[in-house]
Amino acid sequence: MRLGCLIVFILGALSSQAQVPGFVGKRFSVFLDANPSPAVFAQSPGNKLMVDLDAGTNMATTNRFAFNTRPQVTAEYQLFKRHAIGVSYSRASFGTTRGYYTSPPVEGQEYSYQYDPDVVKGDALGLHLKFYYSTTVAPIGYYQTLSVYYTRLNTYDTKSSGAKQFRDDFKYPVVTMQMGRQSMPLKNLLVRAGFEFGWAFVPGNFLTESESDWNADDFSGYKVHQSLMGYYLFNLTLGVGYVLF
């Protein structure tokens, strides 16, 4: 519901073409973005239970109608007429699947284990370069952003749990390209909407190997890699900002 209200507000504000007098010359802005993405490439943290009618049993699976979000705070400084740089901090939360043994495996049975839905949580620091290519005066108009993130993640049993499932955090770089449009419906108030594509530089074992060759630890780790890749692969950009000075 809150996400729906945010979408309606931002789309309505973007329809405004007015450029509010007084903002020209101000260079520093802050933004708060939601970055929603459909839970198609990465599970949602809820890991909804759905019914397999053919088998007549309940099974844990991805809820394809759910959304992941990546709340992000960004500080941005306009260097030139059509160029800006910025730094950001974001929180990550999405679903994954962990493999586990009900008893210590014996030799030859390492590849037989159970599955449990887990939640991946963490954060990311980012740097970006933004290009404006509209005839309007920045920061209003169409833009393109190139970003680099350093992510730090771990898996947890639930969204509220603080106990890490892995001893060491997962730490990987991510690059993204974002395209969108910014508008200023009120003096110094910015809204923006667009879309973003990303690539996480994780090991590609999940693309080249068979799950039947993985033990429980391999399965759990590679599923985090796969989920992180899907989490950044595509998302929408919905945000509000303010021109400070």
What are φ and ψ of residue 42, in 5° steps?
-145, 140
3-state secondary structure string across 125-158? EEEEEEEECCCCCCCCEEEEEEEEEEEEEEEECC
Burial grade of 132 (CB within 10 A; 0-12, 13-18, 19 or more): buried
Structural domain boundaries enclosing 14: 2-243
Number of independent structural domains in the chain = 1
Q: Is the dihedral of CA 75, 79, 81, 83 positive or negative?
A: negative
pLDDT in tens, the chain (245 residues): 555 555 544 455 444 444 444 345 678 999 999 999 888 888 888 765 433 434 444 455 555 568 899 999 999 999 888 899 999 999 999 988 888 898 888 887 788 888 888 999 999 999 999 999 877 788 889 999 999 999 999 999 988 899 999 999 999 999 999 999 999 999 899 999 999 999 999 999 888 988 888 999 999 999 999 999 999 999 999 999 999 98
User: What CATH code is carried by the domain that includes residue 22?
Assistant: 2.40.160.20
Sign of CA dihedral 27, 33, 38, 42: positive
The CA distance from 48 to 223, in Å, is 18
